[in-house]
Structure 1
Amino acid sequence: MKWTGFRQLAVILGVFFTLTASAHAADGWPREIKTSRGTITLQHAPQRIVSTSVTVTGTLLAIDAPVVASGATSPNTRIADAQGFFRQWGDVAKQRGVQRLYIGEPNAEAIAGAAPDLIVVAATGGDSAIKLYDQLSAVAPVLVVNYDDKSWQELAQELGQATGKEDQAAKAVARFDAREKAVKASIHLPPQPVSALVYRPDGKAANLWTPASPQGQMLQQLGFTLAQPPANAASGQSQGVRKDILQLAGENMAAGLNGKTLLLFAGDKNDVQRVEGNVFLSHLPAVQGKQVYALGDDTFRLDYYSASNVLTQLEKQFSSH
């Protein structure tokens, strides 16, 4: 009788664990995520995500991913708050208790100290911690993502798949897309094509957004045409291999800014005045025609929050009503 009882118990437990495993699998876990550094396996939906990229943090917050800590940039600047978090989502991070790990240079000990079950690393850019990949992989699975060759919407969907926040990512994208369509229908485009750029404070150089950049893609979706700079306009590359920007300097800056309208990202009205007052740019059709517009300080990196702010700026400056 006892043996029969044990057998029955074993069968019951076997059925229980089988059902549990099946339910787990049906819920999408474990899942394998392909990255540029290979495939990682996540056993369950992450509960403690550490973002080493201040650029990617905004998109993680937009899809309600459980971010517990993030790298930061220099605090109290035009683009960053007292924490060194981007102003467009700094309040959201504060509400959710996101901790600052470090400012600038990635710190492996600080990252490990946050006890993450997923670490998000940018493959390129000034906020990339890719050089710490091997160290970080010993702490938790490391998700390497690119943000320089895709829109924030594509990045949101990629992050949603990795974090189990697919539905939240889809909703964020749908909200934005609906507003983008409304703005597109409500604005009157300035003279085309346009040069979309970040103007350096010293006035000696600029970064031109390419069609592959999130900024370039967003403008094209809104109906803007990006000007094609001369083939010899590029001044070189920095921050690794970048697909989203073309660096312009010296004489090449004026030659590369050949759009009939200049759209200044990461800029305000003061930047418009500086561009218009630059003697080396005074001959440009966009400058002579007073077709220089600022799209806000928080648009150097686009996420759900800053992209929404770009829509607001475009609506204000080019409203057809």
Structure 2
Amino acid sequence: MSTKTRLSVMLSLFSNFLDHAKLTSRETPQGLPRNNAPPQMPRRGGPMVKRGIPNVRKVIAVASGKGGVGKSTVAVNLAFALASLRDPITAARLRVGILDLDIFGPSVPTLMGLENSGEPELTEGGALTPLTNHGLPTMSMGYLLPRSPDSDSTHDTPVVWRGLMVQKAVQQLLFDVDWSMGVRGQGADVGLDALVVDMPPGTGDVPLTLGQLVKVDGAVIVSTPQDVALADVRKGIAMLRKVDVPITGLLLNNAHYFCPTCSPSRPEPHHLFGPPDRFHATAARLGIPVLAELPLVPGVSTAADAGVPYALVQQAKRQAEDGVGGAKWVQGMGEVGMQVWESVNARSG
């Protein structure tokens, strides 16, 4: 199917969903390839068969119980931190990709500066080709949505689907994307060393589909200090454990704030959203390690809106605008990347 034909089908399907909300098992989600049917969800009483994502060595999920805690920003920066590491054997940098599984509110296109990139190409086999920026290949539902007539962006285009269509879209984003990056073969020749999966918040169809169908090597859970966020974190962890997804660790985002004029030698953290005591108590009760406490840094948000991982912002600019907080954020995310990579490799060993 040509790109033009596929776009025509995509627009037709989307119009049908909005006008009539007719969801049948024969319909294909907008913009997703029709061939290479993905595996079916396990039937009641049948075995749960998990598989790896083609051309990916390690799958690392970034999840949260509640939305708005900075999960997608953490996912993108974690991917960049992993890509900064080197393989101890080959000394080559890790090959890392990002998969955005938030069907209803995809953020990766904006965070990676790809919101106006257009739709991805198809391989000869009908698989989606990732879009790349900052050296990181990405895939997102946001690339597949039609543009509004009066805009070059998909920001105003809603996805109006029920559970069945969401499951089908997730399965195709998992198994019908070509992560080989032009490299064919198995083992050391696999396309990606790690795929960071940005999950939607909550415990709905998407995390359940991922947990039931994919061999996930580790999950990073992002929270903020408030009790309302921690309550949903506990629910999310319970759900992931039910589908045997290993939890690598908890990350506390917006843990505190350093004023830009604070002394670098003796910075004083200000806990704007409350102390981290309840967060640490939750981690201890669940038996999950704490990966980091990242400060609230205005520049992280500014860089995210500009589609740039924060570590790529010029150091002089970070120092001038964010001071010690910016330096500690970059250092903390780098340490998270190392901890996560060591954990997922130790588990497989």
TM normalised by structure 2 equals 0.27
User: Which structure has the larger Rg?
Assistant: 1
TM normalised by structure 1 equals 0.29
More strand as a share of residues:
1
